[in-house]
Amino acid sequence: MRPSPTAQSEAKQRAAVLAFNTRLRSCRLCHRAGYLVEAASVPIARDPEPGAPVPRILLIGQAPGLRANLENVPFAGAAGEKLRLWFELGGIPREDFWRKIHFSAVTRCYPGRLPGARGDRVPSPAEQALCRPWLDDQFTVLKPAVVLLVGLLAIRTFLGRVPSLTAVVGTATFRDGVRYLPLPHPSGVSRWLNEAENVAAVGRAMGRLRS
Ligand code: SF4
């Protein structure tokens, strides 16, 4: 029996995403430019789950963290755990997380620690510019319906100079057929999540995934 047109187009899209990920994993532009000093910092690209349609929800963070880099899995560790809890509020059970969500970031390699601080270094504007074509290509290949912007860098990359997380978390922006939903970064480094009203705003944001 011949595959249905839907199955054919899903197979074509899966092949395009796999080819994109293969190209991305070979990128060393920032290493060659001297921005990434950690030789072990390589692009993280997760392939779609076998047997599942390519996700139409794209999650864009700032850049992979140390644990994600070590394990070659986006959002590994405690921040990923919290993210999965948030998605449960949006009706996506944790076991379906990788079947429903596709991962991206403003820059795709671990940038290293910020000297003298708890957190990771924010990728420089030059690194962001070098990595931007990957992000644009990912939109072309994936054609996402919903884009979750995690953290202020990702939010500002797409929505411009928003004044604060408080101004945008819980809101939705529609542009070119895509729904953008801003979120804070789920790591414990963010004090923004200590406020009850901010946690409620995250709940509203995730509720918009259901609508
Ligand atoms: S951050 Fe982006 S542009 Fe830079 S080396 Fe990694 S994948 Fe390439």
Which residue among 41, 44, 108 has the greatest number of ligand 1 atoms within 8 angstroms of its CB, and so is best to mutate?
108
Q: What is the pLDDT of residue 176?
A: 93
Q: Roughly how many angstroms between the first and final C-alpha of the chain, as a whole number?
A: 37
What does each C-alpha distance from 3 to 13, 19, 124, 190 come to in angstroms?
14, 22, 46, 48
pLDDT at 67: 84
For residue 161, the SS3 value is coil
Residue type for position 32: R
Protein residue whose Cα sits closest to atom 4 of ligand 1: 30
The pLDDT of residue 180 is: 97
For the Cβ of 28 lying below 6 angstroms from any atom of ligand 1, the answer is yes
* φ/ψ bin of 178: left (φ > 0), alpha (ψ from -120 to 50), beta (otherwise): beta
Ligand 1 centroid vs 38 CA: distance in angstroms?
12
Dihedral sign from CA coordinates of 57, 60, 63, 65: negative
* Lookup: tokens for 142: 């994936």
CB 140, CB 22: distance < 8 Å? no
pLDDT at 1: 65
From residue 187, how far is each of 74, 99, 184, 195, 207 by CA, in Å? 13, 22, 9, 14, 20
- Nearest one of 125, 67, 134 to 104, comparing CA atoms: 134
Domain ranges within the chain, ordered by starting residue: 5-210
Cα of 40 from ligand 1 centre, angstroms: 13
Task: Classify domain 5-210 by CATH architecture.
Answer: 3-Layer(aba) Sandwich (3.40)
Tokens of 81: 């755990």
Distance 27 CA to ligand 1 centre (A): 6
- How far is it, in rounded angstroms, from Cα 115 to Cα 106? 21
| Position in ligand 1 atom list of the atom nearest CA 127 | 4
Looking at this protein, which amino acid is placed at residue 86? W
Q: What is the pLDDT along the chain (211 residues), one digit of tens a residue?
A: 667 777 788 889 999 999 999 999 999 999 999 999 766 688 889 898 888 889 999 999 999 988 888 888 888 788 888 999 999 988 999 999 989 999 999 999 999 888 777 778 999 999 999 999 999 999 999 999 999 999 999 999 999 999 999 999 999 999 999 999 999 998 766 789 899 999 999 999 999 988 7
Q: What pLDDT is stored for residue 39 in this prediction?
A: 62
pLDDT of residue 209: 87
Specify whether the CB–CB gap between 107 and 127 falls below 8 A: yes
SS3 146: strand
Please work out whether the CB of residue 134 comes within 6 Å of at least one atom of ligand 1: yes
Amino acid occupying residue 189:
V
